[in-house]
């Protein structure tokens, strides 16, 4: 018997520049033509091609964590505690990396002891996978956990200042994460890893390199990810904020700026995470001040920022100093220098003394030099680029 022909279905082209309706017997059609599909993925295909060339032009050796003597005993104890079953060992590895991610989110690398703990546990876990699982290079589950240890080591600050050697160490872990997610076509986590690498370059003062990685992440999120997913919304929000800061009033007019601010607010509702609300109101306070020049909106955003931070419970205060920065910048911009200096002394410096990062120290020095006032603070204790309000790992369904 001949099979009955499939019924013809009407689809609408998902390319907004086309939008035509077309008939097809195949399900799942997205585009009216191949050309429509190519136009919709043009920027992400360009980004992926550039990432490929980036790896080819600057090949990075696989980051293998050398085992200092102080890690030998913890590694031996961890190996001895592992079950004999491969599946059970994988469950132990997964639990350990999840526990470390939770520790990073809820407590954070706030002092030297915790930084040492996170660094030791992540290093031991990475070495244990390599030693206990000889076939790990061919099993993506093991490679993914190993990559997440690289992300933990990337986000754990280096003691002291960010020297070229320290930057090389952190960026090596960051590149390892980008490489894995690129190889397995995990686009949400690839974008997240690119954002982390971009932020590391930004903290190191390498704005052009950081901008490049942020734009790659933005195009991949827009064209290769499910943009209605809550985690993708959080990542898109961060990438679009970076693009708006980059363009500013030099490249886009006020109408486009206001349209972009509305889109950022829509992403907050879609993402729905308390961390995203904190990050959003922090960015809105800055944008409304130097892009829109709306003091009333700035003050409202600052109030919303305080409320959203109070609502965010069980979360590290590692990046709380960044929540004070928009208010200080707003006060300086509106010639309220005495009030700005008071906020620095009473709110920003106490946070710096709790978390003595190089980035915060340089910001204090820059304010002091630009606005001609003296402030005495101890030198930084560490340097790093942890994005405290972004998800650790995008485990999408």
pLDDT of residue 214: 94
User: Could you report the per-residue pLDDT of 176-192, keeping only the tens digit for each?
Assistant: 999 999 999 999 999 99
In angstroms, the CA 219 to CA 237 distance is 13
E strands, the chain, in order:
9-12, 21-24, 158-159, 382-383
pLDDT of residue 227: 82
Sorted by where each begins, the domain ranges of the chain are 8-40
Please give the structure tokens belonging to residue 142. 């093991």
In angstroms, the CA 357 to CA 317 distance is 13
Q: Which of 59-73, 131-145, 256-270, 369-383 has the lowest mean pLDDT?
A: 59-73
Give the mean model confidence (pLDDT) for residues 261-283. Answer: 94
User: Could you report the per-residue pLDDT of 295-340, keeping only the tens digit for each?
Assistant: 899 999 999 999 999 999 999 999 999 999 999 999 999 889 999 9
What radius of gyration do the chain's Cα atoms show? Answer: 23
What residues contact residue 382 under an 8 Å CB cut-off, 6+ apart?
109, 112, 115, 157, 158, 159, 160, 356, 357, 358
Q: Are 44 and 224 in contact (CB under 8 A)?
A: yes
Residue 289 has pLDDT above 80, yes or no: no
Nearest CA-CA partner of 249 in 237, 262, 258, 238: 258
3-state secondary structure of 328: helix
Q: Which residue has the tokens 């907004």?
A: 16
Confidence of residue 397 (pLDDT cuts 50, 70, 90): very low
Nearest CA-CA partner of 355 in 322, 306, 309: 322
Residue 39 has pLDDT above 70, yes or no: no
pLDDT of residue 292: 80
Length of the chain: 397
Q: Are 230 and 395 in contact (CB under 8 A)?
A: no
Please give the structure tokens belonging to residue 273. 């995470």
Cα-Cα end-to-end distance for the chain: 40
Q: Which of 80-84, 109-113, 149-153, 226-230 has the lowest mean pLDDT?
A: 226-230
Q: What percent of the chain has pLDDT over 70?
A: 86
pTM for the model stands at 0.88
Q: What percent of the chain has pLDDT over 90?
A: 68
In angstroms, the CA 385 to CA 196 distance is 8
In angstroms, the CA 217 to CA 236 distance is 8
Phi, psi of 133 (to 5 degrees): -125, 85
């Amino acid at each position: 018997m001949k099979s009955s022909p499939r019924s013809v279905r009407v689809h609408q082209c998902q390319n907004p520049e086309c939008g035509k309706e077309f008939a097809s017997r195949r399900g799942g059609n997205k585009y009216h033509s191949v050309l429509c599909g190519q136009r919709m993925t043009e920027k992400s295909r360009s980004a992926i091609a550039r990432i490929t060339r980036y790896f080819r032009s600057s090949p990075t050796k696989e980051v293998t964590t050398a085992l200092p003597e102080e890690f030998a005993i913890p590694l031996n104890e961890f190996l001895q505690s592992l079950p004999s079953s491969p599946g059970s060992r994988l469950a132990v590895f997964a639990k350990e990396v999840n526990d470390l991610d939770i520790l990073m989110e809820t407590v954070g690398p706030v002092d030297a002891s915790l930084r040492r703990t996170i660094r030791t546990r992540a290093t031991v876990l990475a070495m244990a996978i390599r030693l206990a699982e000889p076939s790990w290079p061919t099993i993506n589950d093991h490679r993914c956990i190993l990559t997440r240890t690289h992300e933990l080591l990337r986000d754990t600050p280096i003691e002291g200042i960010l020297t070229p050697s320290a930057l090389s160490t952190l960026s090596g872990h960051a590149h390892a994460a980008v490489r894995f997610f690129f190889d397995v076509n995990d686009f949400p986590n690839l974008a997240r890893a690119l954002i982390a690498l971009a932020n590391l370059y930004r903290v190191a003062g390498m704005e052009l390199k950081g901008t490049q990685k942020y734009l790659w992440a933005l195009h991949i999120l827009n064209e290769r990810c499910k943009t209605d997913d809550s985690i993708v919304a959080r990542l898109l929000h961060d990438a679009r904020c970076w693009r708006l800061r980059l363009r500013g009033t030099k490249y886009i007019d006020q109408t486009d700026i206001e349209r972009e601010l509305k889109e950022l607010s829509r992403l907050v509702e879609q993402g729905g995470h308390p961390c995203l609300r904190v990050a959003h109101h922090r960015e809105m306070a800055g944008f409304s001040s130097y892009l829109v020049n709306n003091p009333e909106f700035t003050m409202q955003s600052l109030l919303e920022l305080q409320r959203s931070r109070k609502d965010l419970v069980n979360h590290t205060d590692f990046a709380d100093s960044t929540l004070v920065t928009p208010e200080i910048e707003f006060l300086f911009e509106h010639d309220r220098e005495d009030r700005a200096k008071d906020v620095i002394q009473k709110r920003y410096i106490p946070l710096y003394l709790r978390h003595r990062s190089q980035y915060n120290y340089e910001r204090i020095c820059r304010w002091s030099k630009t606005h001609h006032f003296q402030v005495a603070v101890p030198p930084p204790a560490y340097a790093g680029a942890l994005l405290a309000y972004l998800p650790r790992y995008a485990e999408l369904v």
